[in-house]
């Protein structure tokens, strides 16, 4: 895709200083800019690069005044960072404009889809699937029976959506994600074997949920596993059966959440966090990476460690953890002195 500086300025409501007809077809960092690329300058630390960049067009703040000659065409806007983000979103939308059904695919006779629908090759739509408007399903996606997908959803290649799943508006599901597989439910027998407990529930993703590549979200044993509006999941996360995650909570990669745990809204959970089942985590909780959570957590707590401690307590304790060898030596010296004094007595 090719855009001129004038077209970009029109999208951003900015002003062109330089050649409005110069075109760009790719994006770049300002220090790596090449002819035909678009970049931006927002952080003053990178100002020196605007005089050497080969980028054809650079988005800058309106108050930027060059102190020497520059070759790049500038587009002046109120907020360069925000404007560049807007262009990234626009570019992504234009890039992903796909409409129509490729071949070969399988669609059940009673599957229903809305306008501006795209279905990539080798995909499968099961019985009584209902799909809204402007949904994009890329190649090799499986969508099981009775799945409901609302408007403006994007499902990237290779994702698997099991039966009965409900997906709200504006969701993004990345490659390799598996939504609705059976929860890990088994009952032990006296002879040491295990009997599988049927998982008869489903998964519900409310509006504006993002699911990262390789992430798995299990269906409920009964009822629903629910991700509330605005939840954002990184890659390779495991969400177990009957988990509920509150709105606008974000979770980083390789975190695992065991069954029936409830997580509040606006939480931030770092990478490789382990959370046991059947507990409740409050609102606005922050959990540092690699922490282990094994108890109920109140609102607004900040936690670190395994088992997790209050963040401030953990940092204070860590000072002593590092000094343990010295502390042990001091204790040993004190013991010897006490023994010596007692012997003298």
Phi, psi of 31 (to 5 degrees): -75, -10
Q: Torsion-angle region of residue 178: left (phi > 0), alpha (psi -120 to 50) or beta?
A: beta
Grade residue 15 by pLDDT with cuts at 50, 70 and 90.
very high
Which of 256, 262, 201, 219 is CA-nearest to residue 234?
A: 256
Instruction: Give yes or no for residue 240 having a pLDDT over 80.
Output: yes
Q: Which two tokens stand for residue 16?
A: 């062109």
Q: Mean pLDDT, to the nearest integer, of 86-90? A: 87
Q: Mind listing the pLDDT tens digit for each residue in 54-82? A: 999 999 999 999 999 999 999 999 999 99
Surface-to-core class of residue 290, CB atoms within 10 Å of its CB (0-12 exposed, 13-18 middle, 19+ buried): middle
Instruction: Please state, as a whole number, how many other Cβ atoms lie within 10 Å of the Cβ of residue 44.
Output: 9
Residue 329: is its pLDDT beyond 90?
no
Q: What is the pLDDT of residue 309?
A: 75
Confidence of residue 229 (pLDDT cuts 50, 70, 90): very high
CB atoms within 10 A of CB 84: 21
Model pLDDT, residue 345: 59
pLDDT, tens only, 330-341: 888 888 888 777
Which residues neighbour 14 within 8 Å (Cβ) at sequence distance 6 or greater? 8, 59, 75, 76, 77, 83
Q: What digits encode the pLDDT tens for the residues 252-297?
A: 999 999 999 999 999 999 999 999 999 999 999 999 999 999 999 9
Contact 285, 267 (CB under 8 A): yes
Q: Cα(first)–Cα(last) distance of the chain, in Å?
A: 92
Report the length, in residues, of the chain.
345
Q: How does pLDDT run across 167-182, given as a tens digit for each residue?
A: 999 999 999 999 999 9
Residues labelled as active-site residues:
241
Could you write out the DSSP letters of every residue in 119-145? Answer: E-TT-EE-TT-EE-TT-EE-TT-EE-T
Percentage of the chain exceeding pLDDT 90: 84
Tell me the three state secondary structure of residue 251: strand
- Sign of the Cα torsion 32, 34, 40, 43 reads positive
How confident is the model at residue 281, as a pLDDT? 98
Return d(Cα 68, Cα 91) in angstroms, integer. 31
Q: How far apart, in whole angstroms, are the C-alpha atoms of residue 15 and residue 23? A: 16
The structure tokens 């990345």 sit at: 174
pLDDT digits (tens, 9 = 90+) for 90-116: 887 777 778 999 999 999 999 999 999
Tens digit of each residue's pLDDT (9 = 90 or more) over 142-201 = 999 999 999 999 999 999 999 999 999 999 999 999 999 999 999 999 999 999 999 999
């Amino acid at each position: 895709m090719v855009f001129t500086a004038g077209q970009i300025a029109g999208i951003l409501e900015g002003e062109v200083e330089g050649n409005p007809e110069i075109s760009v077809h790719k994006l770049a960092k300002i220090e790596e800019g090449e002819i035909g690329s678009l970049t931006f300058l927002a952080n003053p630390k990178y100002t020196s690069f605007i005089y050497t960049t080969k980028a054809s067009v650079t988005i800058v703040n309106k108050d930027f005044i060059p102190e020497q000659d520059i070759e790049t065409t500038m587009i002046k806007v109120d907020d360069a960072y925000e404007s560049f983000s807007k262009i990234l979103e626009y570019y992504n939308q234009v890039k992903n404009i796909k409409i129509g059904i490729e071949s070969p695919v399988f669609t059940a006779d009673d599957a229903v889809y809305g306008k501006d629908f795209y279905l990539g090759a080798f995909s499968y739509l099961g019985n009584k699937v209902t799909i809204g408007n402007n949904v994009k399903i890329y190649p090799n996606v499986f969508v099981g029976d009775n799945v409901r997908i609302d408007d403006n959803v994007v499902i990237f290649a290779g994702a698997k959506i099991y039966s009965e799943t409900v997906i709200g508006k504006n969701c993004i599901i990345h490659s390799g994600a598996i939504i609705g597989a059976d929860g890990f439910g088994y009952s032990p027998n006296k002879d040491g074997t295990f009997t599988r407990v049927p998982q008869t529930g489903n998964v519900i993703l409310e509006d504006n949920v993002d699911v990262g590549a390789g992430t798995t979200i299990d269906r409920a044993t009964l009822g629903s596993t629910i991700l509330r509006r605005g939840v954002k999941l990184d890659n390779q996360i495991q969400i177990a059966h009957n988990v509920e995650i509150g709105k606008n909570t974000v979770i980083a990669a390789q975190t695992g959440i065991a069954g029936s745990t409830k997580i509040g809204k606006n939480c931030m959970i770092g990478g490789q966090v382990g959370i046991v089942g059947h507990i409740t985590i409050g609102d606005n909780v922050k959990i540092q990476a690699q922490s282990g959570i094994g108890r109920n957590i109140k609102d607004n707590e900040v936690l670190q460690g395994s088992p997790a401690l209050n963040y401030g307590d953990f940092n204070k304790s860590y000072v002593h953890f590092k000094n343990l060898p010295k502390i042990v030596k001091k204790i040993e010296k004190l013991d010897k002195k006490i023994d010596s004094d007692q012997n003298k007595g």
